[in-house]
Amino acid sequence: MLPSASRPSSLALIGQALRPVAATLRVDTFAKFQELCGELESAAPGTYWVAHAACHAFMNGMERVILAPADPSAPEQVQRALRALLPQRPELIAMPGDHPTHDRLVTTLQDWRREQGLDPRDFPWLLLDAPPQASLSALCAEHDPDTHPPPPPWLHRVWPWVSTLSPGRRGEERLPGTCVAAALLRGTTHRLRGVHEIPVRPSHADLARARAAGIDVLGVFGQRRLVGLHHGPPKSAPPATDDASQAHAGATALAPPGIAPLPAVEAPWAERLNLALNDACQEEIRRHANGPRLWKTLERRCRAILQGYQQATHITRFHVRCDEETASWGYGQPVVEILLWLPQRVQHLHFRVMPR
């Protein structure tokens, strides 16, 4: 149930196509999806969300889409569709939109996962949309872990809805967040291609509550205003603040100096890697002023260290980024984002190295 180099990234969709679709179908291109299900440009505004989701999945690196035809308002159809697509082992499952049948999806998938004996972190993951007018504060209150059971790791609630200009459409449309979030959650991209806008900007407090409640929050980042996922401050961190020194003190109090507290890799080499990355970055931070030259230097040093560790560890590949956008995560200080692909259940891990 874990991703591998031989297993394509996949999104399963439940919903209605423009053309009659008698049974579950699987496609590897958006052109094939439109050929079998109907062209996106022919749909009326505010409809055909499965095509929008397929379009943005392929456009952002997903390799396979599975469609199980069903009326999202019909519980029995939704349950049959989910059961029909599960033998194909999709990684992500979505039924875009806010539907009263969401609960049926959750209970059916929960029962199937129990039958299969899956670990809670294993695929498939289920993506659910928040109501279109819901505020993040209200959504966090509704799923507050202090008053409700914590959501399982395989259940992802996505907020908010996004104004998007999908290819082939004449204008922007307001789409459910799950229409664009699959590639971000799967990790095939970290910033969406295309034209998107999110008019709401959640507070730091709401982002922290959302993370605790298992809600995935979409946001815009950097000067180019690209859409990605807010990871929010760590659950154990103090409340976010605009004071940079206080924020850094809160981070370093919970982790080795200079490294923000993030999920640890349970391997003997992980601590050595953390220290090597941190030492290299601290050295460059002392030598260079904060700016593009420093960012590129940090990126180059971290990449060189990871190349050395890759030969002696189970890291299958990695991604390193340090630029103006990542600097915005560190209250104006340089932050290096590193993603590691490991042959374990948690395949993407972030090391964000901050200055002391």
Output the CA angle 7-11-16, nearest 5 degrees.
145
pLDDT band with cut points at 50, 70 and 90 for residue 356? low
For 74-96, give the DSSP string: -HHHHHHHHHHHGGG--SEEE--
Q: Is residue 215 exposed (0-12), middle (13-18) or buried (19+ Cβ within 10 Å)? A: buried
CB 299 within 8 A of CB 322: yes
Strongest mean pLDDT among 53-67, 282-296, 335-349:
53-67
The answer to whether 76 and 203 are in contact (CB under 8 A) is no
Is the entire prediction scored with pTM above 0.85? no
Which residue has better confidence, 66 or 271? 66
Decide which of 171 and 96 is more confident: 96
Q: Is the pLDDT reported for residue 206 higher than 60?
A: yes
> How many Å apart are CA 159 and CA 178, to the nearest integer?
8
User: Is the confidence at residue 244, as pLDDT, over 70?
Assistant: no
Q: 11-58, pLDDT tens digit by residue?
A: 999 999 999 999 999 999 999 999 999 999 999 999 999 999 999 999
Q: Which is more confident, 252 or 74? A: 74
CB 140 within 8 A of CB 210: yes
Q: Which residues pair with 69 in a beta bridge?
A: 15
Say which residues have a Cβ less than 8 Å from residue 296's Cβ, sequence separation at least 6.
322
Distance CA 51, CA 37 (A): 8
214 or 67: which leads in pLDDT: 67
Enumerate the domain spans of the chain.
10-230, 244-353
Q: Give pLDDT, residue 276.
A: 86
Phi, psi of 237 (to 5 degrees): -80, 155
Is the CB of residue 174 less than 8 Å from the CB of residue 151?
no
Question: How many Å apart are CA 224 and CA 233, to the nearest integer?
Answer: 23
**How would you class 111 by CB atoms within 10 Å of its CB: exposed for 0-12, middle for 13-18, buried for 19 or more?**
exposed
* Rounded Cα gap, residues 290 and 132, in angstroms: 40
Q: What's the CATH code, domain 10-230?
A: 3.40.50
Mean pLDDT calculated for residue range 242-264:
30
% of the chain at pLDDT higher than 70: 81
| pLDDT per residue as tens digits for the range 131-178 | 999 999 999 999 888 888 888 999 999 999 999 988 888 888 999 999
Cα dihedral 215→221→224→225 (10° resolution) = 50
- Which pLDDT score, from 0 to 100, does residue 344 have? 52
The CA-atom distances, in angstroms, between 175 and each of 6, 186, 200, 251 are 32, 19, 14, 36
pLDDT band at 243 (very low <50, low <70, confident <90, very high): very low
User: Helix or strand or coil: residue 344?
Assistant: coil
Confidence of residue 230 (pLDDT cuts 50, 70, 90): confident
- pLDDT of 2: 42
The pLDDT confidence band at residue 247, using thresholds 50, 70 and 90, is very low
Least confident of 107-116, 222-231, 331-340: 331-340
* Predicted local distance difference test score (pLDDT) of residue 56: 95
Q: Residue 354's pLDDT is what?
A: 53
Apex 318 CA angle, 317 and 321, nearest 5: 160
Q: Pick the residue with more confidence: 114 or 204? A: 114
**Quick check: helix, strand or coil at residue 226?**
strand
Q: Reduced to 3 states, what is the DSSP secondary structure of residue 184?
A: helix
Of 242, 245, 267, the residue nearest 356 (C-alpha): 245
Measured from the Cβ of residue 174, the count of other Cβ atoms closer than 10 Å reads 13
- 45 Cβ neighbours under 8 A, 6+ residues apart: 171, 173
According to the model, what pLDDT value does residue 208 have? 87
Q: pLDDT at position 256, please?
A: 29
Which tops the pLDDT comparison, 348 or 74? 74
Residue 258 confidence (pLDDT): 34
Task: For residue 351, name the pLDDT band (cuts at 50, 70, 90).
Answer: low
Place of tokens 């922290």: 208
